Structure 1
């Protein structure tokens, strides 16, 4: 193999593929990136056996060939080369590659590409394209609620499914960790109808989000089967296994009869919660109490070791006095997702889930379990 290419092009592609590679691997080949030079392009592929990402970058190919080299080492070398530099890659036998750029020379150990795993995609039952911005919003509005609890592995991702809402087809994303739930939806693209409910793993969600951040106003192609999902954005293809399991019936825990409505300024509320929670204790679950009476909200925290804190806000609230407690961090995570100036809270009683949403026709809603305070 002998190729020449521009450093910035190679760095951009390596930035995408090397993130999939785990720092510690039982199998040495999984620490490497597969590189294949042919037909005026260099193809790079990396996998952790659950996710596989492939990208092509233009290159001057003198001699075609295929090999694998340490992914993180290659990325760090290219990252530290001069901006706009020319990079030459040349294999020296089967076990070594020479990387040269300007006066810099690196000899890198290679492993045979024959043992590099291939995450077979199989056939996909549903395929569709949608604006990258729409998929990015679905992820951003729900990702924070993904559970990290390994025993309930079916909560370790975002649940996507297609359904009809008021006669209109929508694509809905849901995530929950048992303490809070986030639900967001977008118009269902053509081809998504009848798509099976799938759970996309947290790591895959994170990688897709990073790719979408650089996609601008482009389109993303999505292909789905019962066991895998494939995303294509320009020259980048990300293939991932899905979480096998049944996502809980989230509709059952979504409040339907919460009739105590509070409308509060989102920014003022977030700032007040952040301030009073400064003295909250981890032992007490970072609990903050909301005490409501007509037109006024008092936020308070009591910490036996450090004292108390309270702050009052003007709100729209008409029912008689009401008190409820929440984990301050969970409360701040949810309020950060509200895009309108006002945030609407719908309460039932101090022991029941609270519904949080934006003003107007909101495409997202959030459910938060209360705490005893």
Structure 2
């Protein structure tokens, strides 16, 4: 194999594929990226056996061929080359070594045989539909902060994607929860998505897909079965195994009859929460919200730091209420609300609170209160 490629194009693709490669692996071939050059394009393929990424970039192919090279080492080399440079990659037939040249720099890397590189066999993916980059971004951004990191509850370590009956018709819904908070977002059900099985997309897959969305315009094709899922972008494909587990019945924890309604300006409320939380203890991050007609008072205290109080205007006309929240969780939710006004629907100091954006009902958040 012999080819020439622009540094910028190679670096961009290597950045995507090398982040799938685990830093520590007992199987040497999984540390490598597969490079395959033919018919004017170089394809880069990496996998950790649960997640597989394949990306193609234009390249000047002098001699077609394929090899596998250490992914992180190759990325670091290309990253440190001067901007605007051309990169020449050649694999010698006699010893299988990869030689990389750019300007006056020359690197030789040991390679492993292409035949050893695993294929994450796709199998049948019977369900197929398309989403715009904006729709997929909204589903991910509005829910992924609530994904659990607790390994024992592995079925919560991802986003649950499924078709559901929304208030305005069928929807494609994404849900994540860690037991303390829940996030639910939805878009209109795309053609071809009716009848899809409910699937749990792993946290790592969500993170890699989210990186690719930022550099994508247009549509993304999603194909899935009960065990695998594939996202197809313009120049990249991401195939992932799904979490084999049952997502809990989240509808049961979304209260429908919370009657104490608080409307606040989202931005000023978030800033007040952030300021007051500077005093709350590092461990609990607890703040108290005291509500009376027309006013919301935020307060926090800790034996080490002292106390803080801030009062903000609010639309509230129910009976007085004191309720505590984890400030970090509250800020995570407020950060997803793009409109001006956030609405909190509460029942009492011990029951789950529902948070949503007044102008946009496509996302709903549930937050468990804290005792303060």
Q: Report if TM-score (shorter chain) is over 0.5.
A: yes
Residue equivalent to 2:79? 79
Q: Does 1:123 align with 2:138?
A: no
Residue equivalent to 2:103? 102
Check the 8 A contact 1:94/1:110 in 2, yes or no. Answer: no
Deviation at 1:12, TM superposition (A): 1.6
Residue equivalent to 2:364? 365
Q: Does 1:223 align with 2:223?
A: yes
User: Over residues 162-206 of structure 1, what are the superposed CA-to-partner deviations in whole Å (9 max), with x where a residue is unaligned?
Assistant: 122246221000000000000000011100011110000000000
SS of residue matched to 1:278: coil
Residue equivalent to 2:242? 242
TM-score (norm 2): 0.98
Aligned residues: 371
SS of residue matched to 2:322: strand
Check the 8 A contact 1:4/1:88 in 2, yes or no. Answer: yes
What is the 5 A alignment of 1:300-339?
Answer: 300-339=299-338
TM-score (norm 1): 0.97
Check the 8 A contact 1:353/1:370 in 2, yes or no. Answer: yes
Distance 2:282 2:166 in 1: 40
What is the 5 A alignment of 1:292-307?
Answer: 292-307=291-306
Against the structure 1 CA distance between its residues 338 and 167, is the aligned structure 2 distance closer, same or farther, given a 3 Å change threshold? closer
SS of residue matched to 2:176: strand
More displaced 10-residue stretch of structure 1: 33-42 or 205-214:
33-42
More displaced 10-residue stretch of structure 1: 79-88 or 257-266:
79-88
Deviation at 1:235, TM superposition (A): 1.2
Deviation at 1:306, TM superposition (A): 2.0
Distance 2:96 2:27 in 1: 17
Residue equivalent to 1:91? 91
More displaced 10-residue stretch of structure 1: 256-265 or 82-91:
82-91
CA RMSD across the alignment = 1.1
Structure 1 unpaired stretches of 5+: none
What is the 5 A alignment of 1:1-373?
Answer: 1-92=1-92, 93-166=94-167, 168-216=169-217, 218-283=218-283, 285-373=284-372
Structure 2 unpaired stretches of 5+: none
SS of residue matched to 2:319: coil
Check the 8 A contact 2:341/2:359 in 1, yes or no. Answer: no
